[in-house]
Amino acid sequence: MSVSDTPKRSMRTPLGRVRNLGAAHSGTSDFWRQRITAVAMTLLMIPVIVIIMMLLGRNQAGAAQILGSLPIAVILLLFIFASAWHMKIGMQVVIEDYVHNEKLKLVSIMLNNFFSIAVALASTYAILKLSSGV
Amino acid sequence: MALSIVHRATGIALYVGTLLLVWWLVAAASGPAAYANVQAFTGSIIGRLIVFGYTWALMHHMLSGIRHFVWDLGYGFKANEREALTWGAAIGGIALTVLIWIIAYAIGGGR
């Protein structure tokens, strides 16, 4: 049996292999959260479409009244939370795939975090404001 | 079928499109004048086209995502199954978009 017939063996231990947790340095947690948020949004899709349909053709007073009701506010908050998290992970995957300059990549990922958190917080604040009626 | 890149492209479009969602919610919380601005935009031809495109991107991304979920669970890898899932997502996305807009107009959203 020649050397080339033996399977290549790494000297790294299994622990050493997982310690750096792959290219994203966070293992599979983002993969899993991407799926949780996707399932959540799919389940919420019909209620969210119904809510948007209810708002069609109404003025601000009518819209504010509907958006401020408890079940509708909760459904929208869940949907926004799932959306913001999902899109943050999705955009990070796109950045990691296409941006190869390390510094530009870090800046892009940072801006992606800022944008996603801003979208989530602004929407959440608006819904809470409508719910409290101030 | 190059649907994988369409999944990504619709995802990026939806990402940018959340600005419209934020604008709409913040306007509703701000008052009648701000909300009237949003309605003037979404009621315009350009606004309607953007919201129509957004509806399609959302429906397509959802169905295409369900397709990926089927693959994650280890099913649908045969050639004919892959084709069926891909065509199902492509046609289903368009069908759901048209259906949603027909219902929206039927209940008076076209005013």
Question: Model pTM?
Answer: 0.87
Determine the distance in angstroms separating the CA of A72 from the nearest CA of chain B, rounded to an integer. Answer: 13
Give the residue from B6, B22, B70 with the most A CB atoms within 10 Å of its CB, the best one to mutate: B22
Q: How many domains does chain B have?
A: 1
What ipTM did this prediction achieve? 0.92
Tokens standing for residue B101: 């807009």
Centre a 10 Å sphere on the Cβ of residue A109 and count the other Cβ atoms it contains. 17
**B111 lies in some domain:** no
pLDDT band at B1 (very low <50, low <70, confident <90, very high): low
Enumerate the residues of chain B whose CB falls inside 8 A of the CB of residue A45: 62
Give the model confidence (pLDDT) of A41-51 as tens digits. Answer: 999 999 999 99
CATH number for the domain whose boundaries are A26-132: 1.20.1300.10
Domain boundaries, chain A: 26-132
**B62 lies in some domain:** yes
Give the model confidence (pLDDT) of B39-83 as tens digits. Answer: 999 999 999 999 999 999 999 999 999 999 999 999 999 999 999
Cβ contact, residue pair B28, A60, below 8 Å = yes
Q: What is the pLDDT along chain A (134 residues), one digit of tens a residue?
A: 455 556 667 777 777 666 666 666 667 888 999 999 999 999 999 999 999 999 998 999 999 999 999 999 999 999 999 999 999 999 999 999 999 999 999 999 999 999 999 999 999 999 999 999 76
* Enclosing domain of residue B53: 3-106
Kindly state whether A132 is in contact with chain B, defined as any CB-CB distance less than 8 angstroms.
no
**B94 lies in some domain:** yes
Provide the CATH number for the domain around residue B25: 1.20.1300.10
Determine the distance in angstroms separating the CA of B79 from the nearest CA of chain A, rounded to an integer. Answer: 24
